[in-house]
Amino acid sequence: MPAYVLHLGATVACVHGGQGQPAAPNPRVKVMGQPVVTQPIPYTIAGCSNPPTNLGPCVTANWLTGAVRVKVMGQPVLLQTSQAICLPTGTPLNVLITQLRVKAQ
């Protein structure tokens, strides 16, 4: 099912409220003037409130799924419905807000 393409300006957060940003968005393809993000690029997370007595705060997130049919430079683009796991906690990363013009599958 088609979903909106993830871009640099999208709001992405861990379940503890930490804000995620891509380590290196793809500069060759842009959506609404901002670079898209591809699957193998991890996200860095800042401001996670998970207590250190637990597993500590979320630091990075790796994407498990991406688009099946749309690729940029051979890598699947990330979608609003893509799944990611935060490290070291193992909790999901949530896409809260993204652009509303371009969809992919």
Locate 101 and state its tokens: 């013009």
Confidence of residue 53 (pLDDT cuts 50, 70, 90): confident
Please name the amino acid found at residue 70.
Answer: V
pLDDT for position 41: 94
pLDDT of residue 1: 86
- How does pLDDT run across 90-104, given as a tens digit for each residue? 999 999 999 999 999
Question: What is the value of pTM for the model shown?
Answer: 0.92
Six-digit token string for 67: 């688009």
Section 67-73 average pLDDT: 97
Domain boundary assignment for the chain = 3-94
d(C-alpha 42, C-alpha 32), whole Å: 22
